[in-house]
Amino acid sequence: MAAEPFLHLNHVNVVRGETPVLHDVNLTIHRGEHIALLGPNGCGKSTLLKTMTCELYPLAQPETEVRIFGRKRWDLTELKKQLGVVSAELPGRPFLQATGFDAILTGFFSSSTLWPNLTVTEEMRERAEKVLIQIDGARLRHKPVGEMSAGQVRRILIGRALAASAGTLLLDEPSNALDLAAQRELRNLMRELAQAGTTLVLITHNIADIIPEIERVLMMRDGRVIADGGKPELLTAERLGELFGTPVRLAESGGFYQAW
Ligand SMILES: Nc1ncnc2c1ncn2[C@@H]1O[C@H](COP(=O)(O)OP(=O)(O)OP(=O)(O)O)[C@@H](O)[C@H]1O
């Protein structure tokens, strides 16, 4: 039997505070797919991501359904073990004192540091060792996060998300505030992960982040998914211009794109 999709959303409406933010979102994402989610500020991208991680719930309506890895109900701690979320934000101030290796281990507990009451098993250590190699982070093993460059911190945050997750990464503007070299390193790491079979869902305003392995593009505006299709069809100057309401120029080279 084919594996259940990573995500299935049916008629999803989400309200935050008093404001309806997502309107009738219908979406299926299969395991092994790589997707870029694009849209103007405030259109609901992060809200959609939080719906995927069950941090936000849709309105209970007759046809509404959220299934993650085929299941409607999740214990949040258990779900976090399947889904790694990477954003530019740190998990908390204590994270700055953690070494690179310990910072990766915090992913197993969704904590900001290895608090004394947490039990790190040998299995967790072995997994963290593998992740450290996977993210090419051996040099960061003993370095406190607070002494790392922004690019190195982002690498460790990806490692933290990978440690506990079973092959799906949700990335919310991962290249924010990274210099050109760190952006390139991040893209290379995303490419390696995608090629190794990790499902990537990438929210970005930086079109250059859309690595060649990403083949599907979702466009959102005003809380709705207004387009869902292949990159050749949607990643065009015209479609981006319509989406952002401004003239856009687009260049492609070797499977990478630049927009301005
Ligand atoms: N905690 C909240 N309470 C009420 N409204 C919220 C809350 N968080 C976000 N919103 C509103 O929900 C809408 C969608 O926000 P969201 O952060 O999902 O957009 P986004 O597409 O991720 O934006 P950006 O590109 O700027 O990160 C916005 O109108 C925002 O003001």
The answer to whether the beta carbons of residues 66 and 12 sit under 8 Å apart is yes
**ipTM value of the model?**
0.96
Cα(254) to centroid of ligand 1, in Å?
34
**CA-40 nearest atom, ligand 1:** 25
Question: Which of 166, 187, 216 lies at the terminal end of a domain, its last residue?
Answer: 166
Question: Which among 121, 133, 204, 120 has a CA at the least distance from the CA of 162?
Answer: 133
Q: Which range of residues forms the domain containing residue 59?
A: 1-74+200-259
Q: Over its length of 260 residues, how does the chain's per-residue pLDDT go in tens digits?
A: 567 899 999 999 999 999 999 999 999 999 999 999 999 999 999 999 999 999 899 999 999 999 999 999 888 878 877 888 988 888 899 999 999 999 999 998 888 899 989 999 999 999 999 999 988 899 999 999 999 998 899 999 999 998 888 789 999 998 888 889 889 988 998 999 999 999 999 999 999 999 999 999 999 999 999 999 999 999 999 999 999 999 999 999 999 999 99
Shared-domain flag, residues 4 and 63? yes
CATH number at residue 51: 3.40.50.300
CA 203 to centroid of chain Cα atoms = 7
- The finding on whether 47 has its CB within 6 A of some atom of ligand 1 is yes
171 located within any domain: no
Determine which residue's CA is closest to atom 6 belonging to ligand 1.
16
Res 25: pLDDT: 97
- The finding on whether 20 has its CB within 6 A of some atom of ligand 1 is no
Shared-domain flag, residues 7 and 61? yes
The answer to whether the beta carbons of residues 163 and 105 sit under 8 Å apart is yes
- The finding on whether 17 has its CB within 6 A of some atom of ligand 1 is yes
Residue identified by tokens 């002494």 is 147
Q: DSSP state, 3?
A: P
Q: Is 12 helix (H, G, I), strand (E, B) or coil?
A: strand
Residue identified by tokens 């490692």 is 159
d(CA 5, CA 66): 11
Res 2: pLDDT: 64
Number of domains in the chain: 2
Res 57: pLDDT: 92
174 located within any domain: no
Going from the C-alpha of 259 to that of each of 197, 229, 235, 238, the distances in angstroms are 28, 19, 10, 11
Determine which residue's CA is closest to atom 1 belonging to ligand 1.
16
Instruction: Read off the tokens for 230.
Output: 């292949």
Res 36: pLDDT: 97
Instruction: Read off the tokens for 50.
Output: 């939080």
Instruction: Read off the tokens for 229.
Output: 């299709």
Cα(42) to centroid of ligand 1, in Å?
5
**CA-220 nearest atom, ligand 1:** 21
Angle, CA 32 vertex, CA 26 and CA 33 arms, to 5°? 45
Determine which residue's CA is closest to atom 18 belonging to ligand 1.
44
Shared-domain flag, residues 122 and 153? yes
Shared-domain flag, residues 59 and 83? no
